[in-house]
A and B are shown apart, each in its own frame.
Chain A
């Protein structure tokens, strides 16, 4: 379980707090939708949960241990349980396959050890025809699929997706929604930040509504109403 507990965050000391005592729990096998107005702190909350940003106050717990109280190497190991996928897909120079293998390479994992995950992701997200393509020439939707696939190849226990449906056409949204549903069934905890209410809410077990830096939990149905 990943838990952000009473987290306060601002990017510079002169700035306003983006998160003000916000708490959020992501459990295995559950999908939480993070919703709220633009600039409400959804992306910041995902990055805090991913261990990418240290909050000014509060704790971030991975399986009960505060990652910011750990030394750097333990924190690295702990936060590898979760992968954050940005709304703006970033591709490194090279092919789609190079990008899919990037995380494995960074973690020192042999690609053949992740063969199953790779095949499944390529198949599941319909990337078969584009593996040899120049990753920087992909459309926004293709790049978004590749960046999600790149995260899934790592077989994370928690997946933190920032606006994952935003650049996708209807067919790809459906593909992704199906895959996320399957992953939840396999015990992966997923947080989805987004405005695409239909797909996000259809999948979500609970909704975290972020506004003015605070989080309020709702049932998905109550948000739809």
Chain B
């Protein structure tokens, strides 16, 4: 089994980067949906929450493979490919959760700020500031989804030792080799990470 610390650190790096990346585009989309009342777009993102991860992996594989349109970037079987795939995977989750939080915040705090004489930008800033705990909670939820992801990591990461192997792909490998003890140890680490961030999500959301 590859060094547990190394695999865990790589898993954390990939999941954290994917969550941050997804937030960078997901939160502005969520704000747009909330402020412009784009109900159809909201419904599309909510429908995409349940998309099978293996399907995203396949699409990304076709895009990044040598014959694919992005093949020239040489990203297939790299951590970057997994990051991109996981970012796509958790984007609907971040958009879906954040747009509801932002909508409630814009309605409540946007009007409060405007009634106290704030400009549109100040009202938007206050609404965003007040929704931060909720948004952080949706990010923690997205992280906990990304950290245990398998289909994308296998398809576009290739499970390369010391390079693209994550906790979930390590578990799959150990099980395929009949090393159940190692698989359980890895599973315990994965469960702790996932649970830890889920609890953090609940606590952060509760503060909103």
Contact = CB atoms under 8 A, between A and B. Distances in A.
A107 B130 CA distance: 18
Contacts of A72: 119-120
Contacts of A50: 115
B122 interface: yes
Interface stretch (B56-64, B104-112, B149-157): B104-112
A83 B119 contact: no
B126 interface: yes
Q: Which of B111, B120, B126 has the most CB of A within 10 A?
A: B111
Given A92-B126, A92-B130, A106-B126, A76 B109 contact: no
A6 interface: no
Q: Which of B114, B115, B126 has the most CB of A within 10 A?
A: B115
A154 B112 contact: no
Given A72-B120, A76-B119, A106-B122, A90 B109 contact: yes
Given A52-B111, A90-B109, A92-B109, A102 B116 contact: yes
Interface in A86-128: 86, 90, 92-93, 102-103, 106-107
Interface residues of A, number: 21
A42 interface: no
Contacts of B111: 52, 86, 90
A179 B26 CA distance: 48
B117 interface: yes
B112 A90 contact: yes
A221 B120 CA distance: 42
A102 B111 CA distance: 13
Contacts of A103: 116-117
Given A92-B109, A92-B126, A106-B126, A84 B117 contact: no
A151 interface: yes
B115 A106 contact: no
Contact of B130 (A86, A93, A150): A93
Nearest to B120: A72
Contacts of A151: 115-116
A195 interface: no
B40 to A, nearest CB: 15
B113 interface: yes
A189 to B, nearest CB: 16
B55 interface: no
A150 B111 CA distance: 14
Interface in B122-162: 122, 126, 130
B109 A52 contact: no
A149 B126 CA distance: 19
Interface in B191-207: none
B120 A83 contact: no
B118 interface: yes
A52 B117 contact: no
Given A106-B122, A106-B126, A150 B108 contact: no
Contacts of A52: 111, 114-115
A101 to B, nearest CB: 11
Contacts of A90: 108-109, 111-112
Interface of B: 108-109, 111-120, 122, 126, 130
Interface of A: 50, 52, 72-73, 76, 79-80, 83-86, 90, 92-93, 102-103, 106-107, 150-151, 154
Given A83-B117, A92-B112, A102-B112, 4 more contacts: A52-B115, A76-B117, A86-B111, A92-B126
17 contacts: A52-B111, A73-B119, A86-B111, A86-B112, A86-B115, A90-B109, A90-B111, A90-B112, A92-B112, A106-B113, A106-B116, A106-B117, A106-B118, A106-B126, A107-B116, A151-B115, A154-B117
